[in-house]
Amino acid sequence: MTPAQATCLADALKAGHGILALGGPALNAVECTIGLLEQSGLFNAGRGAKRQLDGVQRMDAAIMEGTHLEAGAVASLEGILHPITAARLVMEATDHVLLVGPLASRFTRHFKLDRHRSTGVPRRLSYDRTLAKQKRLTRDWHGTVGAVALDRFGAVAAGASTGGIESMLPGRVGDTPLIGCGVYADNRSGAVSMTGIGEGIIRLVIAKSICDRLAMGKSPTVAARQQLRMLVSRINGSAGALVLSPDGRFAIRHVTPYMAAGWWNGTGLPIVRGEFP
């Protein structure tokens, strides 16, 4: 984690907590926190999103609130600065949960969301060459941004936004926009936001599985540890989790070499680190 990333994380935590301190809803705090990270260009989301193998940035995001289990998500979105806001619009302005591709981008233009002009140059590749290149590259860039929050009314919320992973085939979609995989929130159990290699997270439906363990009385630390261990042992997966229970207990756990993350309860300075053993 660079000093600039650490500063940005701390500022985002302060902004999100500021909303909670004024009595605002957890959903607003999550959107605000993620929005600042998307805008910074320092993380693999929004302005800083990774490019797929054809040179195009395609972004995914999801947001969920725990009171009514409302959720919204977008996938393969192009040219939008704040995919997390697009996801919230899907939740609040439609009867749907997930919009994808060019028509999702058209949806965001209808609501005049801030645009982001990519500086990359789209490339035309034969599919044989694209598949070969995809297999050669390592998939070690994660960087999904996410947040979980608990407001003074006892409501939880979770969200995530990403540009994907290294060596993405054009059109690849990971766990982030899939409710229950990358994001889940329920006032009766807790809130979870995931980062890592999405293919493994999807196969074990990690976010909902952690919430299920919370509902059974497991602590956030134990619930996260058990599911992440299963991810490694069953399919050699790689991920990190932000986990928050309705009583305010939380955990930041990962089975990746590092995970830039932090937390703040309004006292002292935000805690930001690159590892959470």
Judge whether 152 lies within some domain.
Answer: yes
* Number of domains, the chain: 1
User: Kind and range of the H or E element at 76?
Assistant: strand 71-77
Judge whether 114 lies within some domain.
Answer: yes
Judge whether 203 lies within some domain.
Answer: no
User: Distance between CA atoms of 277 and 275, rounded to whole angstroms?
Assistant: 6
Beta bridge partners of 193: 183, 242
Judge whether 84 lies within some domain.
Answer: yes
**Length of the chain in terms of residues written:** 277
What does the DSSP 8-state code read for residue 170?
T
Residues of the chain with pLDDT under 50: 137-141
Look at residue 247 in the predicted model and tell me its pLDDT: 97
User: Distance between CA atoms of 275 and 250, rounded to whole angstroms?
Assistant: 15
DSSP string, 172-191: ---STTSBTTTEEEETTTEE
Residues with Cβ < 8 Å from 168, sequence gap 6 or more?
50, 52, 53, 58, 134
What ranges in the chain are assigned the alpha helix state H?
Answer: 3-21, 26-40, 83-93, 101-110, 127-136, 198-204, 206-215, 220-235
Place of tokens 């990962």: 254
Judge whether 102 lies within some domain.
Answer: yes
Judge whether 253 lies within some domain.
Answer: no
Place of tokens 């996260």: 224
Task: Give the residue from 51, 113, 42, 50 showing the smallest Cα distance to 82.
Answer: 113
User: Distance between CA atoms of 134 and 164, rounded to whole angstroms?
Assistant: 14
Judge whether 57 lies within some domain.
Answer: yes
pLDDT in tens, 115-141: 877 656 666 666 666 666 555 544 444
Look at residue 139 in the predicted model and tell me its pLDDT: 47
Beta bridge partners of 160: 62, 146
User: Distance between CA atoms of 74 and 100, rounded to whole angstroms?
Assistant: 6
Q: Give the residue numbers spanning the domain of 18.
A: 3-118+125-188
Query: Phi/psi at 72 (nearest 5 deg)?
Result: -145, 150
Q: What is the pTM of this model?
A: 0.92
Judge whether 256 lies within some domain.
Answer: no
Catalytic (active-site) positions: 144
